[in-house]
Every structure is written in C-alpha cells, then in structure tokens.
C-alpha cells in the first residue's frame, strides 16, 4: 500500500499541474487579446460599414471588459463548452474532436516506433560506449536533432516522393480510408517526427544508464562474470527508468503539441493545421481552444512523468 509521503507528493504534483493549466489559460487569453487587427473587420471584410462592425462587436461581446470575457470563457470551458467558431459558426469542440484524434493517431504512430528504438539504441550505445557503434549512433541522432522539422520534411518528401515515388507527399486522411491506407499516407510525417525526437530520447537514455553504471552493485554484477548486455538490461536499465520515463513523456508531449510545422508541411488534417488555418482568419475562440488543449496535453504528460518517477522511487515506496 502506498505510504503517506507518496500520497502527499502526488497531491502536490496534481495541484501544481492544475495551477499551471490555469496560468496557461490566462496567458492564452491575454495573448489572443493583444493580437493585431479587428475580429469584426476580419469577419465582415473591409467593405463593412461602421454600424455593422459595431453591431457585430456587440453581438460577440467584444465591448465587455477583458476580465469578464475571460471568466465567461473559463466558465464555459469548465462545463465542456469551448465556444463557437466565428468564421463558420461550427461548434469548436465538435470540429476539434476529429482533428485531435488525427493528431493523436499521428503522434502515437511515431511514438510506437521512436520510444522502443530510442531505448534499444541507448542500450547499444552504452554497451559499446566509446567505440564506433556508440559514435555512429550518437552522430546520426545528433544530426537529426540539429535539422529543423520542415527541412527534414522537405528532404524526405524529395527522396521518397519526387525521386523514388514511394510514398504520397500529401498526408490527407479521412474516415473512409482503411488503416493501411492511413499508415501509408502518414508514413513520411511519422518518419520526420521519429527523427526529431529519437536523438533526445536516445541520448538521455544513454546518459541515465551510464550514470547508474557507476554504482557499486553494477561493479558487483560485473565481478560475478555476467555478460555486459545482461548487466545493462537487468541491473542498470531498471534503475534508470525514472529519468528515461521523464524524457519519454516530454517527447510524447512534443509529438502532440509540436506537430504544427509537420502538419502544415504535409497538409495533415490535425490540430496544428486547424490552429494555423484559424490564426490566419483571426478566429479567436478557436485559437484559445487549441492553445488550451495543447497546454493541457503538455502539462498532463509532464505531470504523468512526475507521478511515474515518484512511484518508481524505492525510497518512497519502502519507508523505514
């Protein structure tokens, strides 16, 4: 049974996460408030009369104080109402649901490949540390991290679509597609996302395991004559799981939140593309809703990483 220190730490992490999300909602609302331009003018166009603009501003509640509008928006969010899009009148929550499922599908597909591959490469790099496999893996992953996502996307698109004609360049998916057709459509974006997050996860896995390898019990295991890969897999890696989980969760959060550029490059119908489309139209409620969802995902995954780290700490699980 969990002891009191663990429950106290878990309560602290959850409370801190909720406070961060509240602070993020304030920053998101303030950020949309200082955006240049006029929402009413963007909706009605440049030929709108002053009276029409005034009537629309009154209808949208833009004449109310910012504090009042913020609490009305927050009250609606707490009741599951993300508002209505100004440009097309659609319910934002309904329109966002399909987009969010597409983004999660893309992010999970990349994570299924990137996470185990990063751990395996990290273990191999530790096993052959200082030798050519370690240098080769570190060099390739460091190079992939150093190249921006859009550049990786265009390079992959050139070789896999233009030059060799293996995969489609536009990653459009819809409900009527089969699962295999969807995987084929997102193959290049998944490859780009894997290359983007692989290096960071691999290097942190390598560093965490190397830190554990300096412990006395690792030396004891080596003196028993165990194979190096056995020492790493059975003794070092399980004790390095907390920092590895942290970096994995951070990169999973990036896969969901940071896919905006990749989605735009490949015209993928996800949250990132949805956000960019409505930023150009200055559709403030959609921008606020997307920002809040992204913040909730990022804070939630980081909070989950903290919780896993707490639960994996043997000194907290087994009190004296």
Full set of structural domains in the chain with CATH = 4-36+91-317 (1.10.3720.10), 40-81 (no CATH)
Q: Which two tokens stand for residue 73?
A: 């928006």
**pLDDT tens for each residue of 236-283:** 888 888 788 888 888 888 888 888 889 999 999 999 999 988 887 788
pLDDT band at 1 (very low <50, low <70, confident <90, very high): very low
Q: Residue 319 above 70 pLDDT?
A: no
Q: Are the C-beta atoms of residues 316 and 5 closer than 8 Å to each other?
A: yes
Q: Greater confidence, 26 or 306? A: 26
Q: How far is CA 8 from CA 2, 12, 188, 227, 315, in A?
A: 10, 6, 44, 41, 15
Residue 233 above 60 pLDDT? yes
Chain center to CA of 71:
27
Considering only CA atoms, give the Rg of the chain: 24
Q: Would you place residue 6 in the very low, low, confident or very high pLDDT band (cuts 50, 70, 90)?
A: confident
User: With helix as H, strand as E and coil as C, how does 21-34 read?
Assistant: HHHHHHHHHHHHHC
Residue 252's pLDDT is 87
Q: Which residues contact 46 (CB under 8 A, 6 or more apart)?
A: none
Give the pLDDT confidence score for residue 318 in this predicted structure. Answer: 56
**Res 69 pLDDT > 50:** yes
Burial class (CB in 10 A: 0-12, 13-18, 19+), 285: buried
How would you label 206-231 residue by residue, b for 16+ Cβ within 10 Å and e otherwise? bbbbbebbeeeebeebeeeeeeeeeb
% pLDDT > 90, the chain:
45
- Of the chain, the percentage scoring pLDDT greater than 70 comes to 95
Residue 207 has pLDDT above 50, yes or no: yes
């Amino acid at each position: 049974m969990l002891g009191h220190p663990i429950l106290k730490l878990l309560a602290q992490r959850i409370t801190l996460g909720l406070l961060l999300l509240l602070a993020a909602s304030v920053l998101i609302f303030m950020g949309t408030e200082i955006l240049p331009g006029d929402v009413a003018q963007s909706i009605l166009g440049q030929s709108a009369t002053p009276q029409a603009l005034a009537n629309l501003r009154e209808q949208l509640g833009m004449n109310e104080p910012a504090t009042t509008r913020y609490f009305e928006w927050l009250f609606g969010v707490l009741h599951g109402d993300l508002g209505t899009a100004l440009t097309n009148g659609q319910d934002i929550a309904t329109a966002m649901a399909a987009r969010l499922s597409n983004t999660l599908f893309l992010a999970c597909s990349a994570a299924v490949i990137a996470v185990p591959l990063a751990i395996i490469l990290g273990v191999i790099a530790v096993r052959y540390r200082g030798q050519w496999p370690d240098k080769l893996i570190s060099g390739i992953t460091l190079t992939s991290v150093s190249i921006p996502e859009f550049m990786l996307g265009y390079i992959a698109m050139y070789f896999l679509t233009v030059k060799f004609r293996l995969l489609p360049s536009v990653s459009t998916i819809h409900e009527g597609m089969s699962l295999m057709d969807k995987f084929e459509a997102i193959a290049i974006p998944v490859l780009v996302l894997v290359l983007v997050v692989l290096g960071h996860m691999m290097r942190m896995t390598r560093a965490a395991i190397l830190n554990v390898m300096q412990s006395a019990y690792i030396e004891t295991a080596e003196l028993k004559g165990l194979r190096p890969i056995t020492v790493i897999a059975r003794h070092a890696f399980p004790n390095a799981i907390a920092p590895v989980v942290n970096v994995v969760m951070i990169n999973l959060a990036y896969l969901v939140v940071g896919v905006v550029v990749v989605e735009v490059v490949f015209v993928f119908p996800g949250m990132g593309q949805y956000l960019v489309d409505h930023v150009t139209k200055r559709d403030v409620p959609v921008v606020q809703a997307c920002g809040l969802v992204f913040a909730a995902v990022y804070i939630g995954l980081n909070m989950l990483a903290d919780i896993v780290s707490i639960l994996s700490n043997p000194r907290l699980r087994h009190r004296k």
